[in-house]
Amino acid sequence: MFEQSASSQAFPPAAAEVSTPPRDRPAPQRDPFIEHYFKRIDPKVAASFTPEQCAAIKNMFGARGVAKHAVELRRSLPIGRRRYYLVLLLGRERRGFDRLFSEGAVSGPFTFFGYAITAALWLIPAGLLAVVLQALL
């Protein structure tokens, strides 16, 4: 009634059955996204994933990749008997205003606070420079 063909194509080939690519074709490039997530698991387990499985994992995580920031500071601080972490990320904002607003990242007080920090970051060095120049002259 129901017949299944005994095809060897139903499962991915075992590691011993996989042949090396011919020398006229370049080897496939390593995917940095997959390498980032696979570096925390056993290399034997990571090698057992097929390209289709790797693509599915990449699709599941949204293929966001590893973000690069202009300033990326990650530290673990011992305070008393516990450890706390500090993360400072600085970079250009790539999200649109609509997305920022829908996520609640943009609001009146927060925007004012951001402008105050920006002004302080510009005024503090300018004030220090003025004091140094006045001392020299």
Does residue 20 form part of some domain?
no
Instruction: Please indicate whether residue 75 or residue 33 has the higher confidence score (pLDDT).
Output: 75
Residue 59 shares a structural domain with residue 71: no
Residue 62 shares a structural domain with residue 80: no
Does residue 6 form part of some domain?
no
Q: What's the pLDDT at 131?
A: 93
Residue that the structure tokens 């011919």 belong to? 22
The model's pLDDT over 91-131, given as tens digits with 9 standing for 90+, comes to: 888 888 888 888 877 777 767 888 888 888 889 989 999 99
Residue 71 shares a structural domain with residue 86: yes
Model's pTM, two decimal places? 0.34
Q: Which among 28-32, 53-57, 132-136 has the top mean pLDDT? A: 132-136
Does residue 119 form part of some domain?
yes
Label each residue of the chain as H, E or C. Answer: CCCCCCCHHHCCCCCCCCCCCCCCCCCCCCCHHHHHHHCCCCHHHHHCCCHHHHHHHHHHCCCCCCCCCCEEEEEEEEECCEEEEEEEEECCCCCCHHHHHHCCCCCHHHHHHHHHHHHHHHHHHHHHHHHHHHHHC
Does residue 23 form part of some domain?
no
Q: What's the pLDDT at 94?
A: 83
Does residue 22 form part of some domain?
no
